[in-house]
Amino acid sequence: MGAAAEPRFHVLAVDDSLVDRKLIERLLKISSYQVTTVDSGSKALEFLGSLVNDDRSSSDALPSVSPSDHQGVDVNLIITDYCMPGMTGYDLLKKVKESSSLRDIPVVIMSSENVPSRITRCLEEGAEEFILKPVRLSDVNKLRPHMMRTKKLKDQEQESQEEPERHGDEIGLPPPPCQHELETQQSQDPQTQQIQQSQQPKSGNNSNKRKAIDVEEGLSPDRTRTRYNGVATF
């Protein structure tokens, strides 16, 4: 691809599944984003680390550098799978949010499993959105506002980076391993209740499944049907 005349958003996609990587790459490219894919959280951090000059571990020592000052590489959004061997998407999310140089980058989590406590935990940790797999174009379309907002914030200093998505305060569960998590499902707060509904094969609470908090109800009902095929057994 030739260099675009206007600045393009650069998305870092992290997923250990080859098929999913291919899919998300295509979805992002067709939406005119520049895409880098990696297959693990550690590789993601490596890549992100190449955005900043110094070691990211001393995150407090670093002033909030805007990545565009370095290397010419810039990441506007990180989209990551939740269930990955080694470093999970949640671990990656935490690391990003703990880094003063990276924490402004919006992070979106994807998962094939609709687990309310998982969703809440990720959102609490600072994820912008939680997307249920299989990922579709309509999901990718929702990413743009996050990228635009962050870009604007970068220009104007951090202000009301208010996340109405933040909710749920008491869920302090440590991130359980992916496959056993289903046993620990429990409704904890009112929001989770809404999400719980989506577990039952019915109704149009699609928006709650996609993310615990909804900004707008833009999802079409037919998505619900596909979803339940996968979660029926849960």
Partner 1 sequence: MERNNQLQRQVALMRQSLFDQGYLDEQFVQLEELQDDTNPNFVEEVVTLYYRDSARLIASIEQALDKSPLDFNKLDSYMHQFKGSSSSIGGRKVKTECSQFREYCRTGNGEG
- Which positions ≥6 away from 206 have C-beta within 8 Å? 198, 219, 220, 221, 223, 224, 227
**Min CB(134)–partner 1 separation in Å:** 5
CB of 26 to partner 1, least distance (A): 5
The count of other CB atoms within 10 Å of the CB of residue 106 is 25
Long-range contact set of residues 169-172: C-beta below 8 Å, sequence gap at least 24: 169/124, 171/117, 171/120, 171/121, 171/124
Q: Supply the minimum distance, in Å, between the C-beta of residue 1 and partner 1.
A: 10
Site for partner 1, rule CB under 8 A: 17-20, 22-23, 26-27, 30, 83, 112, 133-137, 178-179, 222, 225-226, 229-230, 232-233
Least distance to partner 1 from the beta carbon of 17, Å? 6
Question: Which residues, 6+ apart, have CB-to-CB distance to 172 below 8 Å?
Answer: none
Whichever of 18 and 148 has its CB closer to partner 1, that residue is 18
Instruction: Report the residue number, 30 or 215, with the smaller CB distance to partner 1.
Output: 30
SS3 208: helix
**Which pair of structure tokens corresponds to residue 169?**
């305060």
Q: How far is the CB of 62 from partner 1 (least distance, A)?
A: 36
49 versus 134: smaller Cβ distance to partner 1: 134
At residue 49, what are phi and psi to the nearest 5 degrees?
-65, -30
Residue closer to partner 1 (CB basis): 67 or 175: 175
**161 or 226: CB nearest partner 1:** 226
State the DSSP string of 66-104: -GGGSTT----EEEEES--SSS-HHHHHHHHHH-TTTTT
